[in-house]
Chain A
Amino acid sequence: MSRPVAITGIGPVTAFGLGIDPLWEGLENNETGIKPLEAYDATAWNCPFGGELPADAFAIRKLVPKHYRKATKVMCRDIELAVGGALFAVNDAGLTTAGAGEGDPTISPDRVGCHIGAGLICPDVNELGAAFVTSCDDDMTFGLDHWGREGMQHLTPLWLLKYLPNMLACHVTIVHDCQGPSNTITCWESSAPLSMAESMRVIQRGAADACLTGGVESRLNVLATLRQQCAGRIVRASASDDPATLVRPFAEDAAGTVLGEGGGILVVEAIEHARSRGATIKALISGLACTQSITDNVLTEASAESIADAITLAMNQAGLSANDIDAIVPMGLGIRGIDRAELEALRISLGERGHTLPRILLTPATGNCCAGHGAVQLAVATRAIELQRLPGEDATLNHVLVLTASQGGQNTATILSQEPGS
């Protein structure tokens, strides 16, 4: 691969809080961040649990530069989490962007790109409802004629801009003054690795020296959760169930996933640029390939052959064989059809080793963070390489494989590697 690209900063945002330390500690202690939902009253729903960021763990107004506080009024939850994750990641990378941080910028604005995966953001139904009821007559019958004439005026003029998926990257580029290429990938759980693939391409073709990359999503609201429920992906649970055992990736009795929120932003950088500014190389991206599954059910199934193709392509890019892979961060949603495809893909591409390698399972701890989930996986894999450790034990980790297979059938395989000689 031309122009090697490294990860120099990670900013995950998960049910454990902002940053990698609380997440890693939770994984070390085998804890779960899945708890009874507070975002809305889910007691009557199929699953009253979620991987929700505690209210006291994240306050966007305290995180953004003072001059940007006013803009937080037009941020939905997804945007807040992305902006918070990006601030953390940039700080973690030791970068000073032209828009944020103390002192002179350590990188020129036009040399920073931004690629952030996002979902189809659902509008807040309470915000909509307050406007809907103004268009109802006395017996609460809604009138579209009234809505057009007056009701819609009860939505703030910038209402739409809270919910456009590309507004995550928009705010992040403004906060950090990133004027290089910027994009928003919307491919569910594969959004973050696909964003990283794009950041790599941008850096390798010389259009930027560093990119903020990753993905963030929060589906912990009634409409988004309903969509996942309808898709048949959510585990059915009652309030008395143990949230730690709800998601059971790769188990015979796996019964679905639980939604989480968050994801994260990572700083990826041309290795020579990172070295020239004395940055710590946390991991190298030595292979990143993507493929498409062909199935008639892309909600709860995936194609093992296509996932295997991605793994093989990534290993070829990295110049590695099955024996070189030391650990796997699979997607492991707990959705049987997709889990089975992941396992079969590992068998096809890595042989028996695919089933014996250690796996770091995240969904039981964080829930499925959807467009952000791949970013959590990538951040954890990076941390594992940095620490030379799996949760609960020391390990030699030269190369870690990260897999995603999205709702919709987009698959990615990423190989993160320890910097040689480190």
Chain B
Amino acid sequence: MSGRRVVITGSGWITPMGHDLDSVWKRLVAGETMVGPIDRFDAATFPTSFANQVREYDWTKYVENAARHGQPGMHTAFALGAARQAWDASGLGDLDGLDRRRCGLYLGSGEGALDFNSYQKSTIASWQKELAKIDDGAWQAAAAEYIDGEYEVAQEPNEPITHIAREFGLRGPAFNCLTACAASTQAIGEACDILRRGDADVMISGGTHTMLHVLGITGFNRLTALSTRSEDPEHASRPFSRSRGGFVMGEGSGVIVLESLEHAQARGANILAEVTGYGSSADAYRITDLHPDGRGPAAAMHAAMREAGIDPRGCDAQGRPEVQYISAHGTGTQENDSIETKSVKLVFGDNAPKIPMTSIKSMMGHLICAAGAVELITCLLIMRDGVIPPTINLTDPDPDLDLDYVPNVAREASVDTCLSNSFGFGGQNDTVVVQRPRS
């Protein structure tokens, strides 16, 4: 690792399991899930009719002046709530003389909820059956009636950083990346690099996303990536099980405040953890598949631990593996869980089965772009409380997957170093290492 050290001084999330850190954490430790039928649209006949949905959420409670934000997209609304929690927890808002030009943003945000209904109405109204295409002029006229322009503009992926910047007056470097399920881990890793270089003192980072709209569920159903266990949604997300059958859709946001160590120390901030390593790679293999050797995830993990100065096959002074917890990408698809397990073994060797590795997606579902950030926040809570939440629904383990997935029941453990994995459709692999702050 070169450059400045980077620490986390605040975190927050809006999730399907709740809207504040501690209530969600309690549910995760208890092995609960709040998955249920999709009620944002009528999905009864869809191959998948259930999801982990954010409910009873009012974003206006998290901003100083809601009128300044107009009608934000749902992804932006989630991010504003998560960012407010993180910002307030960091104490930066109380700091006199904070140079907001040195405060930047790097989110991994997807799009907001696309307005399927207006698209189909405009398209059908202008459809020319004999030509099997729309009449382009008639489509515009129909769209003028059905499509809400302000709503459309608000669904852009860079809207969340724009609104967070506006809310907190942040004028530093600003990025949004969209690398599917890897996005927020990648955003956090790159935000750390910006801080290490000295290009900013504070970075708001994380991710936000909802694909809980008709086109989102349609797209993943057509890919056969979603679980279709509609008759038994509570047991549908089954990472590392023999009977795993795809992931369960979630939505929400996780945001953290990253800061250079000296900036945090100078203001006497409460340091939650240090980000010591980040690694990123591309599979460059196929658009739908991970490389069967697990080379991409392995490269990302190796790079992250190299930066952190960790020997994946070594032990610490207490005889423990140097990494004591892995937050798995663990989607519950046949391919991901198999290749992730293979790549962890490849990297950690004999240490692999000694390291607890869980997937909170078994409880919370897959928050897509936001997943990595929420999972990294979980790592902070694991280190804080010394308890590892379980992988639930692991009642029929896959005999070929033989690592310690902490099945079904949480476990007490002293954890000082965590590694968090995220792998995206399209071949991006990202890993971040966080450690208990050194005194």
A interface with B by C-beta (< 8 Å): 40-45, 71, 74, 99, 109-110, 113-114, 118, 120, 123, 125-126, 128-130, 132-133, 136, 140, 142, 144-149, 152-153, 155-161, 164-167, 169-171, 173-174, 176-188, 194, 198, 201, 204-205, 207, 222-223, 226-227, 229-231, 289-294, 296, 298-299, 303, 306, 309, 406-410
Of A129, A185, A306, chain B has the most CB atoms within 10 Å of the CB of A129
- In the complex, B266 has a CB within 8 A of chain A: no
- In the complex, B219 has a CB within 8 A of chain A: yes
Interface residues of B in 26-66 (CB under 8 A from A): 41-47, 49
Check if B119 sits within 8 Å of A201, measured CB to CB: no
Alpha-carbon gap, A171 to B177, bound state (A): 17
Alpha-carbon gap, A2 to B196, bound state (A): 13
Chain B residues near A231 (CB, 8 Å)? 149, 153
Chain B residues near A188 (CB, 8 Å)? 156, 158
Chain A residues near B296 (CB, 8 Å)? 179
30 contacts between A and B (CB under 8 A): A45-B140, A125-B122, A129-B124, A132-B127, A133-B124, A140-B127, A145-B42, A147-B214, A148-B43, A159-B218, A159-B219, A161-B287, A174-B427, A179-B299, A181-B280, A182-B179, A182-B282, A184-B177, A187-B158, A198-B190, A201-B194, A222-B143, A230-B147, A230-B150, A230-B152, A289-B173, A292-B104, A292-B172, A408-B162, A410-B161
Of B158, B177, B284, chain A has the most CB atoms within 10 Å of the CB of B284
Given the contacts A227-B149, A230-B153, A180 and B174 also touching, CB distance less than 8 Å? no
Interchain nearest-CB distance for A369 vs B (Å): 16
Interface residues of B in 125-183 (CB under 8 A from A): 127, 129, 132-137, 139-141, 143, 147, 149-150, 152-153, 155-159, 161-162, 165-166, 169-180
Interchain nearest-CB distance for A54 vs B (Å): 19
Chain B residues near A128 (CB, 8 Å)? 119-120, 123
The secondary structure that dominates the B interface is mixed
Alpha-carbon gap, A187 to B291, bound state (A): 30
Check if A126 sits within 8 Å of B133, measured CB to CB: yes
Name 5 extra pairs, CB < 8 A, besides A120-B156, A129-B134, A147-B218. Answer: A128-B120, A158-B222, A166-B180, A198-B190, A296-B166
Alpha-carbon gap, A207 to B140, bound state (A): 47
Across the two chains, which residue of chain A brings its CB closest to B105? A292
Across the two chains, which residue of chain B brings its CB closest to A222? B139
Across the two chains, which residue of chain B brings its CB closest to A406? B158
Interchain nearest-CB distance for B78 vs A (Å): 17
Check if B157 sits within 8 Å of A291, measured CB to CB: no
Alpha-carbon gap, A126 to B131, bound state (A): 10
Given the contacts A128-B123, A231-B153, A296-B166, A187 and B180 also touching, CB distance less than 8 Å? no
- In the complex, B313 has a CB within 8 A of chain A: no
Check if B179 sits within 8 Å of A166, measured CB to CB: yes
Alpha-carbon gap, A293 to B170, bound state (A): 8
Chain A residues near B282 (CB, 8 Å)? 113-114, 169, 173, 178-182
Of B147, B175, B193, B221, chain A has the most CB atoms within 10 Å of the CB of B175
Check if B172 sits within 8 Å of A41, measured CB to CB: no
- For B269-299 the 0/1 string (1 means CB < 8 A from A) is 0000000000011111111100000011001
Chain A residues near B221 (CB, 8 Å)? 152
Alpha-carbon gap, A99 to B171, bound state (A): 40
Interchain nearest-CB distance for A263 vs B (Å): 16
Chain B residues near A157 (CB, 8 Å)? 222-224
- How many interface residues does B have (CB within 8 Å)? 93
Interchain nearest-CB distance for A96 vs B (Å): 16
Across the two chains, which residue of chain A brings its CB closest to B307? A205
- The answer, among B132, B141, B281, B295, for a CB contact under 8 Å with A130, is B132
Interchain nearest-CB distance for A18 vs B (Å): 23
Check if A125 sits within 8 Å of B134, measured CB to CB: yes
Chain A residues near B132 (CB, 8 Å)? 126, 129-130
Check if A144 sits within 8 Å of B42, measured CB to CB: yes
Alpha-carbon gap, A251 to B393, bound state (A): 64
Interchain nearest-CB distance for B197 vs A (Å): 7
- The answer, among B68, B122, B178, for a CB contact under 8 Å with A165, is B178
Alpha-carbon gap, A129 to B134, bound state (A): 8
Given the contacts A207-B280, A226-B152, A231-B149, A44 and B124 also touching, CB distance less than 8 Å? no
Across the two chains, which residue of chain A brings its CB closest to B168? A294
Chain A residues near B159 (CB, 8 Å)? 408
Check if A110 sits within 8 Å of B299, measured CB to CB: yes
Chain B residues near A292 (CB, 8 Å)? 104-105, 161-162, 165, 170-174
Alpha-carbon gap, A332 to B174, bound state (A): 21
Interchain nearest-CB distance for A104 vs B (Å): 18
- The answer, among A109, A113, A129, A165, for a CB contact under 8 Å with B123, is A129
Check if A179 sits within 8 Å of B190, measured CB to CB: no
Given the contacts A171-B287, A306-B171, A183 and B428 also touching, CB distance less than 8 Å? yes
Across the two chains, which residue of chain B brings its CB closest to A229? B149
Check if B134 sits within 8 Å of A44, measured CB to CB: no
Across the two chains, which residue of chain B brings its CB closest to A200? B197
Alpha-carbon gap, A182 to B183, bound state (A): 11
5 A-B pairs with least C-beta separation: A230-B149, A160-B219, A44-B137, A148-B45, A170-B426
- In the complex, B237 has a CB within 8 A of chain A: no
